Amino acid sequence: MARTLDGVDLKDAVPRASYDVAAALHVLTTHRFVALTGAGLSTDSGIPDYRGPNAPARRPMSYQEFVSGRTAQQRYWARSHLGWSRMRRAVPNAGHHAVARLEHLGVLSTLITQNVDGLHEQAGSRRMHALHGRISDVVCLSCRERTTRRSLHDRLTALNPGFESRHGDVAVRPDGDVELADTRDFRVPSCDACGGVLKPDVVFFGENVPKDRVLRCYEAVEEADALLVAGSSLTVMSGLRFVRHAHKLGKPVVIVNRGATRGDPLASYRLDLGTSDFLPLVEASLVRR
């Protein structure tokens, strides 16, 4: 793709980094684009990311492990109960608010987020697909009855009095849980409707994103003029496939992320910037036009 801005070749006129920022802003303010966001967008809200420079080591529970029996479910819900107590207090940062305003200004056609923290919704995003679900929802694996995480949190608190205060010093991990060794005495409630196993309505490792959700995301990419990736390393295929699809269709791809991503070879513009810095700049540039 020719590196031009308003028809002028700038590659020899300004430093490469400054040129790429200007050219990326031009793409995003003159095209209707889809945004694909990842964990890096929520780090400024106090939620650690998965693969950034300071990311903690992690071994997320797989779906197969979760459904293996009561012991695994005790371990998951004990850790997640502590993590949720803190994650639910997180608030949207400048990046989340800029994404919502770009939607309202009409330049962002659809948001696809890999995050499950619900901060985009809190910031006001509406035209969006939560690719991996939402940690704020709970589903029964037997009858598919859906309840809120807040109501389950209250049940877990009542069944395990003093648990949160005894483990108040553990650090939250990117998945919204904590590192906790002994969870054998943690009590986990069953579904009120049928007695089945309760699971957060998020896509675990080893699960597939629902096909209809994937198709809606593909359609959003096809209908847009460009794709912005913000705060994702694109390590997992669930996000990378949309970058490949946009590239195959000849649409500009702008990637903004601290650190390398798997989609870098497909990017029209690749910016090593924080999302809380860059996304408000897109909004400001659009308003000035």
Catalytic residue among 81, 96, 97, 132: 132
Q: Taking the CA atoms of the chain, what radius of gyration do you get in angstroms?
A: 20
Is 132 assigned a catalytic role?
A: yes
Q: 26: which residues sit within 8 A by CB, 6+ positions away?
A: 5, 6
Distance CA 248, CA 227 (A): 12
Distance CA 145, CA 138 (A): 8
Distance CA 224, CA 218 (A): 10
Catalytic residues, by residue number, are: 132
